[in-house]
């Protein structure tokens, strides 16, 4: 059960509700134009999910709607993360200066969702949580008759908001047991529902009280619309699935959105698989691209001189480098823009940059705790230095000619092993192929990328086998999987399980 509200809190919420019923938003509908998607995605974990979502929208579903990704300050989004999104034709919005300009009490990602909708440049907004996987191009939602009739579409959750919840009386609304909202997707025409959306933002500014009796932002939308008597359409079908993936439907009952509430995409490690999940291979391919281009953390380059920045540009343009560590270890390293490392990244080589010191320009490889390798340039394409962590040994960087990315996209040893395994024939040797590719992936950076390509584009009779093998190889070469935090607070609030197909 939700905790009881204090007398002071009840007075505060009643005054807020009265203000919302009579106030006019300090924003004009003429400030908006067009249709678009808004996603709130701050921090490394949420960004991972947002990248998969945007990659799927653009490259699999062919969605051409403009997209805004909002975050709260530099602590949640680095230049390299923003650049990855911008390559997919996404506008990255830092909400902090907008919040400050309006004096809004927005402090976390839940509160940010309606605020981002309100202040996005779009007149018609589809809000999507970062952990969404649409089944179809969501642009069709803007054409639904129910949306045109009301200006708003909500989707139901798998629980009900109880009549006994104290939020009803605190806001001066008639108590009732009703279907709860699931705010992983919300569709709003701001020109018609501006007061309701502005009221929802104000309710979320009172999160310190409201979130004690309702679960995060989700039912603030329902309450905001109720307070100003704004109309809305609720999809009449409950989502199907389980607590890990809620599959939301359209008005005809067909799957539309797969909301991975308890099975978020992980940067490295094993991904949750569920039966009949659409676009799994496309999502895994997006994760593979992300893993090859981003360290998985919010990294900001330190201040450097213009000369150091110029050398960084020359190193990037020079292509892959051979890293020699001590007498026995050699590997290929790709140093990417914004301090990211592609091929050759490891726990002690997460990011890089150049800087000036008494010896001229030095090149650093680092992990979050500090610099782990330090090199001095000895000539064009040659750096010498040492690994700083124990055991401390000499290390060298030398420019090599052919980029790993080019080799990974071309036929090679992976293809020869696949041919030798005779896939698609009765005498196929799947087990030995799987073991060989696990070993190859540990020394050849392009192995997994080539497997993805063959599993998607190879002969039809070999694709199912290669997909199985790819899954095992990727898991074998990934780091340990972080545990999924399944927040059970919803079970302790004023909600009850929903039953049946609709409200």
pLDDT digits (tens, 9 = 90+) for 88-115: 999 999 999 999 999 999 999 999 999 9
Distance (Å, rounded) from C-alpha 108 to C-alpha 105? Answer: 10
| pLDDT value of position 484 | 36
Mapped onto helix, strand or coil, the DSSP state of residue 495 is: strand
Taking residues 232-250, what's their average pLDDT?
A: 94
- Give the range among 173-182, 356-365, 453-462 with minimum mean pLDDT: 453-462
| pLDDT value of position 1 | 60
| pLDDT value of position 300 | 97
Mapped onto helix, strand or coil, the DSSP state of residue 257 is: strand
Residue 404 has pLDDT above 80, yes or no: no
Residue 486 has pLDDT above 50, yes or no: no
| pLDDT value of position 4 | 85
Higher per-residue pLDDT: 268 or 444:
268
Taking residues 202-216, what's their average pLDDT?
A: 94
Q: pLDDT band at residue 409, thresholds of 50, 70 and 90? A: very low
| pLDDT value of position 503 | 42
Distance (Å, rounded) from C-alpha 352 to C-alpha 385? Answer: 14
State percent of the chain over pLDDT 90: 73
Is the separation of the CB atoms in 68 and 36 below 8 Å? yes
| pLDDT value of position 378 | 87
Instruction: Give tens-digit pLDDT for 156-184.
Output: 999 999 999 999 999 999 999 999 999 99
Average model confidence (pLDDT) across the chain? 90
CA distances from 489 to 34, 214, 492 (A): 37, 10, 5
Cis peptide leading into residue 46 (ω within 30°)? no
Query: What is the residue whose two structure tokens read 């999809």?
Result: 235
Residue 415 burial by CB count (10 A; 0-12/13-18/19+): exposed, middle or buried?
middle
- In terms of DSSP bridges, do strands 185-189 and 124-128 run parallel, antiparallel, or are they unpaired? antiparallel
Q: pLDDT band at residue 487, thresholds of 50, 70 and 90? A: very low
Taking residues 211-224, what's their average pLDDT?
A: 94
Taking residues 249-259, what's their average pLDDT?
A: 98
- Give the range among 160-169, 218-227, 469-478, 491-500 with minimum mean pLDDT: 491-500
Is the separation of the CB atoms in 470 and 451 below 8 Å? yes
| pLDDT value of position 441 | 78
305 token code pair = 């001189």
- In terms of DSSP bridges, do strands 240-241 and 246-249 run parallel, antiparallel, or are they unpaired? antiparallel
CATH for 7-266, options being 1.10.4030, 3.10.20, 1.10.150, 3.90.550: 3.90.550
- In terms of DSSP bridges, do strands 35-40 and 67-71 run parallel, antiparallel, or are they unpaired? parallel
């Amino acid at each position: 059960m939700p905790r009881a509200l204090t007398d002071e809190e009840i007075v505060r919420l009643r005054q807020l509700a009265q203000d919302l019923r009579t106030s006019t938003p300090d924003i004009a509908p003429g400030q908006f134009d067009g249709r678009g998607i808004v996603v709130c995605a701050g921090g490394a974990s949420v960004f991972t999910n947002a990248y998969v979502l945007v990659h799927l929208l653009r490259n699999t579903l062919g969605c051409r709607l403009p997209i805004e990704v909002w975050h709260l300050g530099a602590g949640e989004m680095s230049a390299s993360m923003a650049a990855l999104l911008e390559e997919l034709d996404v506008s990255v919005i830092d909400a902090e200066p907008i919040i400050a300009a309006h004096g809004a009490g927005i402090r976390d990602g839940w509160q940010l969702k309606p605020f981002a909708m309100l202040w996005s440049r779009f007149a018609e907004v589809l809000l999507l949580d970062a952990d969404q996987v649409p089944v179809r191009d969501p642009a069709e939602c803007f054409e639904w008759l129910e949306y045109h009739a009301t200006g708003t579409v909500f989707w139901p959750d798998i629980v009900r908001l109880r009549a006994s919840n104290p939020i009803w009386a605190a806001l001066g609304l008639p108590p009732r047991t009703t279907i709860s909202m699931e705010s992983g997707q919300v569709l709003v025409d701001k020109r018609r529902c501006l007061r309701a959306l502005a009221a929802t933002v104000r309710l979320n500014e009172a999160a310190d009280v409201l979130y004690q009796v309702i679960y995060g932002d989700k039912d603030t939308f329902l309450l905001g619309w109720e307070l100003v008597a704004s109309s809305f359409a609720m999809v009449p079908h409950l989502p199907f699935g389980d607590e890990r993936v809620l599959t939301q439907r359209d008005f005809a009952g067909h799957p539309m959105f797969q909301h991975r509430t308890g099975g978020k995409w992980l940067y490295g490690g094993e991904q949750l698989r569920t039966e009949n999940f659409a676009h799994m291979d496309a999502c895994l391919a997006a994760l593979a691209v992300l893993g090859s281009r981003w360290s998985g953390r919010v990294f900001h380059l330190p201040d450097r001189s213009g000369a150091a920045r110029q050398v960084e540009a020359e190193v990037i343009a020079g292509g892959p480098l051979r890293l020699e560590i001590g007498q026995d270890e050699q590997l290929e390293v790709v140093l990417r823009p914004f301090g990211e490392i592609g091929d050759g990244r490891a726990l002690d080589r997460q990011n890089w940059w150049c800087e000036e010191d008494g010896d001229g320009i030095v090149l650093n490889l680092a992990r979050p705790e500090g610099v782990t390798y330090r090199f001095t340039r000895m000539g064009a394409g040659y750096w010498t230095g040492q690994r700083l962590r124990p055991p401390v040994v000499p290390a060298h960087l030398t420019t090599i000619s052919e980029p790993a990315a080019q080799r990974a996209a071309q036929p090679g040893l992976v293809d020869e092993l696949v041919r030798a395994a005779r896939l698609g024939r009765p005498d196929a040797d799947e087990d030995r192929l799987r073991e060989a590719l696990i070993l190859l992936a540990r020394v050849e950076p392009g192995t997994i990328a080539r497997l993805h390509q063959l599993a998607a584009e190879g002969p039809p009779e070999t694709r199912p086998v290669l997909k199985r093998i790819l899954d095992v190889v990727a898991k074998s070469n990934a780091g340990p999987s972080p545990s999924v935090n399944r927040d059970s607070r919803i079970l302790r609030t004023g909600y009850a399980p929903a039953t049946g197909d609709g409200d």
